[in-house]
A = this chain, B = another copy of it.
Amino acid sequence: MADADVAALVARARDGEARAVGRLISLVENASPLLRAVTVALMPYVGRARVIGLTGSPGVGKSTTTAALVTAFRARDLRVGVLAVDPSSPFSGGALLGDRVRMQDHATDSGVYIRSMASRGHLGGLAWSTPQALRVLDAAGCDVVLVETVGVGQAEVEVASLADTTLVLVAPGMGDAIQAAKAGILEIADVFVVNKADRDGADQAARDLRHMLSLGERRTADEWQPPVVKTVAARGEGIDDVVAALDKHHDWLVASGRLDAKRRVRAADEIEAIAVTALRERIGDLRGGSLLDELAGRVVGGDLDPYSAADTLLEGLTT
């Protein structure tokens, strides 16, 4: 595929052609040789989408909430992307479809793009492929991208680092408030949702969360105070309150300058990761060559220490 084809694919994605979007995500997800060309072609169009992360334990109603949020954003005529990241699955593209039943309402809506992704990719998973997919959806004209991931360990922290706003779901009676405090979730949540609020214990769960938040590090007046919202997502109850909380957080991010700061940190992280990968590749190229082999031989022979060898290697790299 030539650069001209990449440009054509980007143009078709921007016209709302779902297949072109899917093809671009596949290209970046698999780190194809075209990754750089695709990224360059997308750049003029990125930076518009609001990225909202959703996380929580299995069974709290993430998919249902995601679907309800899609409906709410579509009612405003916003274009919506959904990335469902399964950190435990090695499969991508068609993964998680069993959980996507609620999303079927949106499957024929050309204003919604839904993609399941495996995070256990060969290149480091979520950390690698999700930001690339986000960039595609952003450039394709999504106003909002919802990144949904099962809250298992590191994945939710990674989602938080990618999202502008992180929504953490809990359900009553699951001890989630306590779990959340343990797992460091309190620090990453911008909005808490107690879903299935028609069940016993919903008020208690909300109180627990507020209590936990009050016990956490004191937030100054100009910092964001995460609200706790109760929903019954399956019936759409409370979803307007969630959207209002998300909007409020977004406005705060913009007004406080935090949105720009977050995006700069993410960009710096990405530049750094690309630079380190490039340097590793250059070193890797040297492995086949004679310099590293010769240096290794001298270290084994005891007449060169590995630090001096590394110095020599770096001189070889950078000239």
Interface residues of A (CB under 8 A from B): 36, 39-40, 43-47, 260, 263-265, 267-268, 270-272, 274-276, 278-280, 283, 287, 292-293, 295-297, 299-311, 313-314, 317-319
- Kindly provide the distance from the CB of A7 to the nearest chain B CB, expressed in whole angstroms: 14
Q: Are B306 and A47 in contact (CB under 8 A)?
A: no
Contacts of A283 on B, CB cut-off 8 Å?
272, 275-276
Contacts of A275 on B, CB cut-off 8 Å?
283, 310, 313-314, 317
Q: A300-B47, A318-B317, A318-B318 are in contact. Are A306 and B274 (CB under 8 A)?
A: yes
Bound together, the chains give a CA A190 to CA B36 distance in angstroms of 44
- Kindly provide the distance from the CB of A33 to the nearest chain B CB, expressed in whole angstroms: 12
Contacts of A297 on B, CB cut-off 8 Å?
264, 267
Q: Are A271 and B39 in contact (CB under 8 A)?
A: no
Bound together, the chains give a CA A36 to CA B283 distance in angstroms of 21
Q: Are A270 and B287 in contact (CB under 8 A)?
A: no
Q: Kindly identify which residue among B39, B264, B276 contacts A280, using a CB–CB cutoff of 8 Å.
A: B276
Q: Kindly identify which residue among B265, B271, B287, B319 contacts A295, using a CB–CB cutoff of 8 Å.
A: B271
Contacts of A295 on B, CB cut-off 8 Å?
267-268, 271
Contacts of A305 on B, CB cut-off 8 Å?
36, 39-40, 43
Q: Which 8 A-B pairs have the closest CB atoms?
A: A318-B318, A274-B310, A267-B296, A268-B296, A267-B299, A275-B310, A271-B309, A40-B305
Contacts of A279 on B, CB cut-off 8 Å?
276, 279, 314
What residue in chain B is nearest A286 (Cβ atoms)?
A: B272
Bound together, the chains give a CA A272 to CA B309 distance in angstroms of 9
Contacts of A263 on B, CB cut-off 8 Å?
300
Q: Are A46 and B274 in contact (CB under 8 A)?
A: no
Contacts of A47 on B, CB cut-off 8 Å?
300-302
Bound together, the chains give a CA A46 to CA B306 distance in angstroms of 12
Q: A46-B302, A300-B263, A318-B318 are in contact. Are A287 and B310 (CB under 8 A)?
A: no
Q: Are B300 and A260 in contact (CB under 8 A)?
A: yes
Bound together, the chains give a CA A272 to CA B316 distance in angstroms of 13
**Please, could you name 26 A-B residue pairs with CB atoms under 8 Å apart, sorted by A?**
A39-B307, A40-B305, A43-B299, A43-B305, A45-B302, A46-B302, A263-B300, A264-B296, A267-B306, A267-B309, A268-B287, A268-B292, A268-B296, A270-B306, A271-B310, A271-B313, A272-B283, A272-B287, A272-B313, A274-B310, A276-B279, A276-B280, A276-B283, A278-B314, A317-B318, A318-B319
